[in-house]
Amino acid sequence: MSVGIERYIEKARTGGLTKPNRCAICARAGSLSWHGTYQRSLIALTRKWTIPIKRLYCRLCDHTFALLPPFVVKFHRYAKEVIRTALRWLKSRTREAVAEMIANSFPKPRKPEIATLTLYLWRRKFA
Ligand SMILES: [Zn+2]
């Protein structure tokens, strides 16, 4: 996964990302232009990243939206792989045990604290 994230960062930095065909707001095609970049943090399984997110502007509906890479879940700080792994572990383990396992996947001493409530909410939303 970290290879995928690194490749994405490199592409975003060098203008190598592919512009989507259709607007995410109005769904019409052919009128998008790049509209700046912002940085966001992302917690993956083995480390925390700061990744660039490109924005697009649609001339037809006059809106902008973010082009999220496939490993990011909208409105979530954790990468898709963390959520997916946690949901798998939660099938046979307690939330406390899974929170500990996720923290342990990070190199010491940079352990992120994941709340058991977060795990509860992920299971309600994604499982
Ligand atoms: Zn549009």
Q: Collapsing DSSP states into helix, strand and coil, what is residue 110? A: coil
* SS3 state at 119: helix
Which pLDDT score, from 0 to 100, does residue 110 have?
A: 65
Q: What is the pLDDT of residues 46-101, one digit of tens each?
A: 888 999 999 999 999 999 999 999 999 998 999 999 999 999 999 999 999 999 99
pLDDT of residue 26: 97
The 10s digit of each residue's pLDDT in 4-45 is 999 999 999 999 999 999 999 999 998 999 999 999 999 998
Confidence bin at 127 (pLDDT 50/70/90): confident
CA of 32 to the centre of ligand 1 (A): 8
Q: How far is the CA of 89 from the centre of ligand 1 (A)?
A: 40
Structure tokens at 94: 């307690």
What is the 15 CA–ligand 1 centroid distance (Å)?
A: 22
Distance 60 CA to ligand 1 centre (A): 5
Distances (CA, A) of 99 to 56, 104, 119: 36, 9, 8
Q: What end-to-end distance do the CA atoms of the chain give, in Å?
A: 21
Q: How far is the CA of 22 from the centre of ligand 1 (A)?
A: 8
